[in-house]
Amino acid sequence: MTYKTPLELTNHNTDLTKINASVIWLHGLGADGYDFEPVAKQLLKPDALPNVRFILPHAPDMAVTRNNGYVMPAWYDIYGVIPVREEDEAGIKMSQAYIDALIQAEISRGISSDRIVLAGFSQGGAIALHTALRYPHKLAGILALSTYLPLHAKLNAEAHTANKNIPIFMAHGIFDDVISLEMSKVSRDLLQNSGFSVNWYEYRMAHSVCAEEIIDIESFLKQVLS
């Protein structure tokens, strides 16, 4: 797979030597890292997250079976319709390995793993959940937006104890017709039944992000990166 260089954002007034935390934010199917650039810029207000670096990677282009083989940015292939009955395990694990490498790159730049948040929307949120729960070193938190837990049957066998207590922000629109609210709630319940702590939020929106949600995301990031 070919990966483009991720977009990186910091507050323009920040001394880069003082960066002490990173948020790796994954976009949804068919989008790219620029999709959440406006949200990241909003969160980088000087009085909010002044010493944080946002990493916005771009998914590689691949043929997506569900979309008649159309080539688009995707973190893994999707078969059939939602709810998901068959999953692209190889593709999910390939994206997991790539995100692991991005985490390691931040660690190599001096950021402690427990100061790194994995975030994602829709398909990107699925990869954020999958990767963070299996990561062998403590992370700061997970933002799982309008998404679900992939390969959930393997969670208990593959989850790493390092992130057993990781804070999880999970949010969904009650009018979402791409990934249903009910499907996301099933994932929430699976996580909670496996002992994970999930902060659950619902918003009057479709498959998107709203202003109220961004305010709650800011509060969550301040909490886990304080």
- Catalytic site positions: 122, 176, 207
Residue with tokens 């994206």: 95
Q: How far apart are CA 27 and CA 226, in angstroms?
A: 25
Output the six-digit token pair for 149. Answer: 């837990």
In eight-state DSSP terms, residue 78 is B
What is the residue type of 202? E
Q: How far apart are CA 8 and CA 103, in angstroms?
A: 14
CA dihedral angle for residue 36, residue 40, residue 41, residue 42, rounded to 10 degrees: 100
Output the six-digit token pair for 185. Answer: 């709630």
Quick check: 11 and 44 in contact, CB under 8 A? Answer: yes
What backbone phi and psi angles, to 5 degrees, belong to 18?
Answer: -100, 5
Quick check: 196 and 169 in contact, CB under 8 A? Answer: no
Put residue 30 in one of left, alpha, beta given phi > 0 → left and psi -120 to 50 → alpha: left
